Structure 1
């Protein structure tokens, strides 16, 4: 049997083996090797991401488990996160009580919030509180408890007790994955529990989605896509994947395009998924 005659399950098993062996797969290379279209490979990767078997990035996929800490994530894809942050900040209503969840993109949103809207911002992330504390016109509430090193935030029992008194107008969730069938997901059990708790207590829920999290599912469910009021996607996010989110009832907004830096093609990524 030729490679092009592989059944769906066999093809995805081969892709999973390639991920284990090489730490990444490139959709164009797989399509050529297997004698199928790139659209077929992209569908395979979407299904595998929904099952938590891989983590999609521009042009291919990486293994499912994240390998970076919060501090390391802060330093990656800065221009793209800033574009998402500007789009998110523009949607915050004056006088709002906002909960800013953990995440490097949400740290960028904190820095983009205007000082003249009379905002109150609660967060479980010390780095976000530190970015806001000297901003005039923004009141800051820090949710306490032990800090989880992976998320950079307080997500345990003390944080849940602190959060019981909060009723935010807007919850800006940090996410590990967004899939039209699975919804919002997270890599950590306690992180997912805390995110779900805050989403349930908030009037509206918004998230900013980097391309690597789109059509991807992490192990722990947070909320279904129907509970998410709006998502902001990157300017070059996959059209079909965004359309599938819209079809599931999600209001979608795109951030402005990011101007490529010298010697960098738009959307180009290195083998670990960060910008080349």
Structure 2
């Protein structure tokens, strides 16, 4: 495979998942670790990515206050509008983080009555400045990759919460592997978020369906709702509809 082709695939993976691991790229591209490291170094030199230990990050995801654009923003806005229909006065809501969750935060009704728990400082700020709903940030160690709070303190706080509905974004979702991630601390927080809510809704652009990472958050049958940019009757969602409600 030519270098130009490898770079194109690497950028596509980073754009879709926000982060890539060098070992995963070795398997995907069928090249050595040294080759991947050289490719990442060149892409960073060109200003296209941020190289980190063991992989690389998308520049826009790593610098949320300087984002010139959000990947698939139109699709994420559509998903957020669908998700909003599940929220009603008096509910206690839990959320993870990510750009798709920020789109939801931007359209929370200003007069909403209820409680909004989140592990994302960015989501907390968006909701607090736009709505009178009670906002509670579950604080802990701030992840430099995802900008969510992680660690034992967050897991402990979540164990005391019994929310009506939890909204989660995802880096990968498939029928076989369920909801998966690449970061251990993020996985632990997401597992706790799921345990702390009566219902769980995953928000995902359709490009992430049938993709996977190495760490499992939960199986597909642990989800109550799947919210995508596709029409609920789309054939790509047919098998998912057997285990959760498609919105």
Deviation at 1:116, TM superposition (A): 2.9
1:118-164 deviations in Å (ceiling 9; x for gaps)? 12101111100110112343100011122111111111122212222
The CA distance in 2 between the partners of 1:243 and 1:20, in whole Å, is 36
**Long gaps (5+) in structure 2:** 10-26, 29-54
Task: Determine whether 1:143 maps to 2:138.
Answer: yes
Task: Tell whether the 8 Å contact from 1:171 to 1:205 is kept in structure 2 after alignment.
Answer: yes
Q: 3-state SS of the aligned residue for 2:239? A: helix
User: Given the two structures, how large is their TM-score scaled by the length of structure 2?
Assistant: 0.73
Distance 1:74 1:125, change over 3 A: farther
Return the structure number with greater relative CO, CA threshold 8 A, min gap 6. 1
Match of 1:220 in 2: 215
- What SS does the aligned partner of 2:129 have? coil
**Structure 2 Cα separation of the partners of residues 99 and 130 of structure 1:** 15
RMSD over aligned CA atoms reads 2.8
- In structure 2, the residue matched to 1:37 is none
- What stretches of structure 1 move > 4 A for 4+ residues in a row? 17-21
Partner of 1:182: 177
| Deviation digits for residues 44-93 of structure 1 (CA, Å, limit 9, x no counterpart) | xxxxxxxxx66xxxxxxxxxx77323525972222221111111011112
CA distance in 2 between partners of 1:228 and 1:135 (Å): 28
Is the CA contact (8 Å cut-off) linking 1:73 and 1:104 kept in structure 2? no
Q: TM-score, normalised by structure 1?
A: 0.66
SS at structure 1 position matched to 2:226: strand
**Compared with structure 1, are the counterparts of its residues 86 and 18 closer, same or farther at alpha carbon in structure 2 (3 Å cutoff)?**
farther
Residue 251 (1) aligns with residue 245 (2): yes
User: Which of these two proteins has the greater Rg computed from alpha carbons?
Assistant: 1
Corresponding residue SS for 1:113 = coil
For residues 94 and 3 of structure 2, what CA distance do their matches in structure 1 show?
37
Alpha-carbon contact 2:232-2:246 (below 8 Å) kept: no
Aligned residues: 201
Which one of the candidate residues 79, 83, 86 is aligned to 1:88?
83
